[in-house]
Every structure is written in C-alpha cells, then in structure tokens.
Amino acid sequence: MSAHQAAAYEPVFTEERKKQLDELLQRYPTKRAGLLPALWMVQQARGWISDRAMAEVAEVLGLTPAYVKGVVTFYTMYHQHPVGKHFIQVCTTTPCNLCGGEGVVKALLEHTGCKELGATSPDGKYTVIEVECLGACGFPTPVMIGDDFIESVTPEKVPELLKKYQ
Amino acid sequence: MGYPHQPHPKETVVLSQYFGEAEARTYDGWVKRGGYAALKKALGMEPAQVTELVKESGLRGRGGAGFPTGLKWSFMPKEKKRAHYLCCNADESEPGTFKDREIMRWTPHALIEGCAIAQYAIQAEVAYIYIRGEFTEPLRIMERALAEAYKKGTLGANAMGSGKRLDMYLHRGAGAYICGEETALMNSIEGRRGNPRIRPPFPAAAGVFGMPTTINNVETLTAVPHILNRGPAWYKGLSLSNPKSTGTKLFSISGHVKRPGNYEVTVGFPLGELVNEMAGLRDGRTLKACIPGGSSVPILNREETESCKLDYEGCVEKGTMLGSGGVIVFDDTADMVYQIMRLTRFYAHESCAQCTQCREGTAWTVRILQRILAGQGTMKDLDLLLDLSEQMTGKTICVLSDSCAAPVVSGIKKFRGEFEAYIKGARKPVLAHA
C-alpha cells in the first residue's frame, strides 16, 4: 500500500453520536447552527479536528469542507493538530500578568518538559499554551488542564498539580 | 458578597446573596429561597407590563454599554409575525471581569428565571445562552439546572402551566473574545465565524437567524426577578448618585489587591473605597492606576480613582466608562508600559481581522510598544502611537479597535514618564528585541 493512499477513516457521527447530533439540531432553525456543537463532539471524540473530520462534518450538515475549515480556524479552542494528552492553558493577560502569570507559564514549561509554548512534551503527555483571559481574574493564575479549571496556581504549586495529570 | 471572601459591611447584597451556598444551585434550594415566584408573577401579567416594570426600575445593561434594558425590550415588534429570540450573553471574556462566571456557578436558576421572564416579555419561545468555551464548570452547572427546570415543568411546552412555550438552550463558544460582541455572538450561534455585523439592521429588527432578537448580559437578566419581586420603586431607590444609574452592580476586582473577588455595591459607590478599603492594597504599597470597567476602558490615575463614583455618568466624568465593572488595580510596582503592551496584545490576538484599522492597527500597536520595551523606541513613537490610536477609534464595525486604543491613549497621557524612561534609556529594557 503506498503512503499516498488515504488511510481508512472511521466516521465520528455513527449510531449514538449521530442520534445525539440530530437531537441537538432540533434546537436550531438551520442545520448550519449545529456546526459549533458538532465540532465540539468531534474534538471530544478524537482529541482534535482533522481535515477529514471537517469534511465529514460538512457532509453531515450540508456545508462545504472549506466553509467548515473557515469556522474551525476562527475559534482558538478547536485543535487543528493533535495535542498532548493533557492540554494546558495558562492565563497571562494583564490582571494575571500583574500577579505573576508568566512565572506559572515558565514553571509549567519546565516541569512538563514542553520547553516551548505550543509544543508537545517528548513523552506526548503535555502541551502548554498561553491563553488570553480565562475569565477568573480574581483567582490568579487560573490554569485549564483539559476540561478542568484550576484557580490560584503559583509556580510553587506546579509540580504537585502535575502529579494529578500523568 | 465579597466572594470568595467574607461579605463586607459596605456591600449591598442582592444578586450575590447566595454565592458560596451549594444548595442554592439546586431547583428545590432555589425555590426555598423564593426562586421562580417572579416568573410565576410575570406569567400572570401582560408581556408589555413586564417590560414596563423593567423600564421603570431604571435597570441598564451590565455587559458594558449600559443601555436601558426595558427600552431595549420595547424595541421588539409588539405584534409577533415571525419567531422572536432571546440571546443571553454569557461569553464573559473582558479582562478583569469574572462576575457572570460566579452568577452561573452559584445561582444558575437565577439566570434561568431572568431569561424566562425576558423571553415572556419579548414573546420569544426560544432563548440561547451563549457561554464561553473555557467556562467548563459553569457550563456543567447550567446544564444540570436547565435539566431540572425542564423536569419540573418550569420550562418547556407549558411553562409553569401558563400554556406558553419557553425553551432555553446552552450554546458553547470555542475561544473568541469577539463573540461577546452582540452581532458576532449571533453569527456564532448560527454556525459562522464570529465577525461582527454592520448595524443597522439592529437585532430587534433582524438578529439571530434574521429574526427579531434581544440580547442581554447574564448580570442584567439575573437582576430582573428581583425587580419583579420587590418592585421597580425599590430598585430605583438603590442609587447613590443620580436617577439615571440605579440598582446594585457586581464589581470584579483583580490585580494588585489583597482580597480580589466580586463585590456587590449600590451604583454610585466610591471607587476609592472599593479599591483601598474593601479589596485593599498589598502592605506597604500605594495605588498607581486603576481600570474601572474591564480592559476596554481608559485607565485612571490615583487621584481620578479616588474621586470616581461607580456609576455610568460618574465614570464618564472622569474620562472613562463603567463598562462591565472589571476593576483592575495597579500599585506602585506595576510597569505601566509593559502592562499596556500586554493589554494591546490581547486585542491584537482577539481581532476578528475584518476591518483594516483593527487588524493592522492592533498588531502595529503591539510592535511599537514592544520596540519601546526593548529600548529601541524613539520619542516619535509616542506620537505615532497616538496617531495610530486615533485612526483606530470610531472607524470600524465594532469597538474592539477602539478598546485597544483606549489604554494606549490614556496610558501615554497619564504615565508618559514611564514610556520616556524606556526611550531615553533611564529604564532597563525588559524585552530582548522588538
């Protein structure tokens, strides 16, 4: 089999998930409106949204793959590439910046082995990014790990925190 | 109350009364605290009467613009010919603001009740609550509360036995500050890129799905049940300054303070007291600057902060805005040039890029500020920044561009010495290169 031949694609919207999406679509007068929820479902199932998955979403919702890609690229939370098992987002916008948010980023990059923002650690466990305002400025520095929202993180708390995400 | 801290005696606690009480999150816990009585009452009135009560109360939008809520509702067509929609803006992303998060985390049913009353008043069968993607915990709590409200028949085909259909859905965003702009939010619900739309048409004429739509902030809608329960005169009476600004408001305090968090006070409350006494500066520190209404409003210096009244007009008097009530405090250790750069970086990152002034202007503002911070700036750069900011103000579809210019213009005006120190080499560069 040549490397250029497309690998088999396993669709996301089969059986249960298809039913779930159909139910969601009842909430909106247009199918297009189901796009953001559908993309969330893909990311929850696969961890990221590949071009092939975008094409599937387009087909399910009666849109073009280019349109879907246009929407995916607009929203920063949709991953267009695989990320580490634990995706870590740290707020460094002004209120958190005043309280040492950049120190938390430094500690996370060091202790996860990611070294660079946006890069995945060699063991594939972590990806760390800076994020603009997580909306919890009274609890500096908020950090999101996957879907978990952790308040008041300091550089000192980082090693202990990472133990929970192995 | 001063969540996560003890309530402060100077607070006027209305919306935040049950913050921190887990039981208030449940349907039964909410009913036990007087919940859903206001909705019941509203359903027994004419929709126009409900709108009239809200108008009388003087309630104004708590999301930033401060538009009178009852008046906004009255713009909806009286005679319903097409579907009407309510959108609740729970996309709280303005740096410095974290009040809607606490409302949804602790009193989800208060928001549901407020939405339901608004829906009834504007004759909308469907409401979408647009919640930012990062708010995973508030999302889970709201999902649970909505399921309960449906199960109890408070929402659905026959809401509270009224014969009226009230449906309410959560729509999760995916990381875009601009979706808090009302027309971008509607595009995002429709499954589009979150680009703001040109107005007119205004949402009341053609909003989400092209239908008449009202869009209100979480805090605004949460105040509505209290107005129904206790009457507009009571709400109107909550005013320390002038009859145009009424009620209570949650202020989120962050930055260089000892007790950050949400504080609820009557509008017109002195900003100086909120910062110095309630939140409190760190020991041995003095106040340098304050942004009173979320990152999009002009920065105040110490004197202005200490004489500013927290209402819509009081803030305008000081050359700033009440905005969303996100109070960011800077003490004498703050590097204003660096922090202003950091604010503009936020806007450059969040620009939707459809207007040239914003797409290019935000990016260049950051680059010029970084050049100054790297010790490579010239005195001409300050004029260039001011000129650029002027070109970014009042010229675009939405105000994101204006918001980027606000801290730059006010910052250079009030803290010019700090900029000059970097340019003249009196301050060591903090960035390696521009």
Q: d(Cα B14, Cα B361) in Å, to the nearest integer? A: 41
pLDDT over 70 (residue B16)? yes
Residue whose C-alpha is closest to residue B120's, from B228, B280, B14? B228
Q: Does B96 touch chain A (CB under 8 A)?
A: yes
Q: For B22-31, how does the pLDDT look when each residue is reduced to its tens digit (9 = 90+)?
A: 999 999 999 9
Please answer whether residues B327 and B250 qualify as being in contact, where contact means their C-beta atoms are separated by less than 8 angstroms.
Answer: no
Contact B328/A at CB under 8 A = yes
What span, in angstroms and rounded, lies between the C-alpha atoms of A115 and A108?
9
Residue A89 in contact with partner chain B when CB distance is under 8 A: yes
* CA–CA distance, B89 with B116 (Å, rounded to integer): 14
β-partners of residue B166 are: B156
pLDDT at residue number B76 = 98
Q: How far is the alpha carbon of A2 from chain B, nearest alpha carbon, in Å?
A: 37
CA of A3 vs chain B CAs: smallest distance (Å):
34
CB pairs under 8 A between A and B: 143
Residue given tokens 């509270």 in the structure block: B160
Q: Does B137 touch chain A (CB under 8 A)?
A: yes
pLDDT at B217 over 90: yes
- Give kind and range of the element (H or E) at residue B262: strand B261-266
| pLDDT at residue B433 in the model | 72
**Of B290, B266, B296, which is closest to residue B93 (Cα–Cα)?**
B296
Q: Which of A6-20, B104-118, B152-166, B398-412 has the lowest mean pLDDT?
A: A6-20
Cβ separation B134–A70 shorter than 8 A: no
Looking at per-residue pLDDT, the higher value among B17 and B2 belongs to B17
Nearest to B115, CA basis, from B127, B131, B101:
B127
A80 in reach of chain B (CB within 8 A)? no
| Yes or no, beta carbons of B260 and A140 under 8 Å apart | yes
Q: Are B123 and B163 in contact (CB under 8 A)?
A: no
Find the CB nearest B174 among A77, A99, A139: A77
Fold entry, domain B34-237: Rossmann fold (3.40.50)
Contact A139 B350 (CB under 8 A): no
Residue B189: φ, ψ to 5°: -65, -35
pLDDT of residue A3: 53
Output helix, strand, coil percentages for chain B, rounded to the nearest 5: 45, 15, 40
Task: Spell B113-132 as b/e; 16+ CB within 10 A means b.
Answer: bbbbbbbbbbbbbbbbbbbb
User: What residue in A sits closest to B262 (Cα-Cα)?
Assistant: A138
**Residue contact B96–A95, C-beta within 8 A:** yes
* Main-chain dihedrals φ then ψ at residue B88, nearest 5 degrees: -105, 125
Q: Does A95 touch chain B (CB under 8 A)?
A: yes
Residue B275: name the closest of B301, B295, B237, B313 by CA.
B301
The answer to whether the CB atoms of B352 and A94 lie below 8 A apart is no
Could you tell me what percent of chain B has a pLDDT over 70?
99
A165 interface with B at CB cutoff 8 Å: no
Query: In this prediction, what percent of chain A has a pLDDT beyond 90?
Result: 95
Reported as a single tens digit per residue, the pLDDT across B152-197 is 999 999 999 999 999 999 999 999 999 999 999 999 999 999 999 9
Instruction: Please answer whether residues B32 and B26 qualify as being in contact, where contact means their C-beta atoms are separated by less than 8 angstroms.
Output: no
Predicted confidence (pLDDT) at residue B72 exceeds the cutoff of 60: yes
What is residue B327's three-state secondary structure? strand
**Residues B16, B262 contacting (CB under 8 angstroms):** yes
CB contact under 8 A, B136 and A148: yes
Residues forming beta bridges with residue A129, ordered by sequence position: A89
**DSSP string of B264-279, one letter each residue:** EEETTEEHHHIIIIII
A107 pLDDT exceeds 90?
yes
Going by C-alpha positions, the residue among B318, B312, B198, B172 that lies closest to residue B246 is: B312
Q: Which residues of B touch A27 (CB under 8 A)?
A: 126, 167, 169
ipTM reported for the complex, 2 dp: 0.95
Q: What tens digit of pLDDT does each residue of A61-71 get?
A: 999 999 999 99
Residue B116 phi, psi dihedral angles, 5° rounding: -60, -40
Whether B306 contacts chain A with CB within 8 A: no
**DSSP 8-state code for residue B41:** H
Using CB atoms, which residue from B169, B350, B352 is nearest to A132? B350
Separation in Å, CA B263 to CA B19, B36, B69, B298: 11, 25, 22, 21
Q: pLDDT of A74-86, one tens digit each?
A: 999 999 999 999 9
Mention every residue, 6+ apart, whose C-beta is less than 8 A from residue B353: B359
* B193–chain A Cβ distance below 8 A for any pair: yes
Please check whether residue A27 touches B, CB under 8 A.
yes
| CB–CB contact B132 A34 (8 Å) | no
Do the Cβ atoms of A144 and B136 come within 8 Å?
yes
Distances (CA, A) of B162 to B42, B45, B86: 10, 11, 19
What's the whole-number mean pLDDT along residues B114-141? 98
| Contact A57/B at CB under 8 A | no
Question: Residue A1: its pLDDT value, please?
Answer: 45
Q: What percent of chain A has pLDDT over 70?
A: 96
* A4 vs B130, more confident: B130
CATH architecture of B336-423: Up-down Bundle (1.20)
> Residue B254 in contact with residue B275, Cβ under 8 Å?
no
Architecture field, domain B248-331: Roll (3.10)
Q: What is the pLDDT of residues B272-329, one digit of tens each?
A: 999 999 999 999 999 999 999 999 999 999 999 999 999 999 999 999 999 999 999 9
Beta strand B126-131 pairing with B85-90: parallel
Which domains, ranges and CATH numbers included, belong to chain A? 15-74 (1.10.10.1590), 86-163 (3.40.30.10)
pLDDT band at B7 (very low <50, low <70, confident <90, very high): confident
Predicted TM-score of the model (pTM): 0.97
The answer to whether the beta carbons of residues B275 and B253 sit under 8 Å apart is yes
- Residue A122 distance to chain B (closest CA, Å): 26
Residue B427 has pLDDT above 80, yes or no: yes
Cβ–Cβ contact B192 with A under 8 A: yes
What token pair was written down for A67? 């349109």
Domain positions in chain B are 34-237, 248-331, 336-423
Cβ atoms of B427 and B421 within 8 Å: the answer is yes
Give A-chain residues touching B349 at CB under 8 angstroms: 132
**Contact with chain A for residue B239, Cβ under 8 A:** no
What gap in Å lies between CA A28 and CA A19, rounded to an integer? 15
Asked if pLDDT for residue A124 goes beyond 50, the answer is yes
pLDDT score for B5: 76
Q: Does B427 touch chain A (CB under 8 A)?
A: no
Separation of alpha carbons A60 and A73, rounded Å? 19
Q: Do B193 and A32 touch (CB under 8 A)?
A: no
Position B434 scores a pLDDT of: 60
Place of tokens 């760190």: B282
